Amino acid sequence: MYQDRARKAYQHSLSSALSDREADAQCFRNLISELRSVEHSTEFNERREALSKHQRLWSLIQKANAYDTGLVPNEDRILFSRLADQAQKYGIRAILNSELSITPLIDMAQSVLEGLTGDIDTIASIKK
C-alpha cells in the first residue's frame, strides 16, 4: 500500500520535473523579468539586486563551461564562456554606473532564451 503511493508520487514528480534545458530557460525568463522590472527604475538598490542576480547567473554559466566534461561540444563551451564574459563585464559597468542602460543585458538574455526554447513567441511575450 505505502509502496504504491510512493511509486505514484515519484511518477508524478518525475512527469512534472523540468529537463535541464527547460530549467535553464526558466532561469533566463526569471532574469529577463527581473531586469525588465528595474530597467527604468531610479531605485538604486533594486537595480543593484537585479544586476547582482544577473552576475551570479552568468558566473555559474562561465564556471559550468570552464572545464571539458564531454557533455558540451568545445565550440559551444567557448561561445558560452565568451557570452558570459561579455555579460559580466557589461554588468559590472552597469552596477558602477546607474546611468548605463541595462537593455543590452536584457537583449542578450532574450537571445539565449530564444536559443534554448526555439520559440520566438515566448520572447515576444516576455518583451511586453
Could you tell me the pTM of the whole model?
Answer: 0.76
Asked whether 70 and 47 are in contact (CB, 8 A), the reply is no
SS3 24: helix
CA angle 96, 100, 105 (to 5 degrees): 95
Asked whether 45 and 60 are in contact (CB, 8 A), the reply is no
Q: Give the Cα separation of 5 and 123 in Å (integer).
A: 39
- pLDDT value at position 44? 92
Place of cell 563585464: 89
* Residues of the chain falling short of pLDDT 70: 1-18, 119-128
**Cα separation values, 27 from 37, 38, 107, 122, Å:** 15, 17, 15, 14
SS3 62: helix
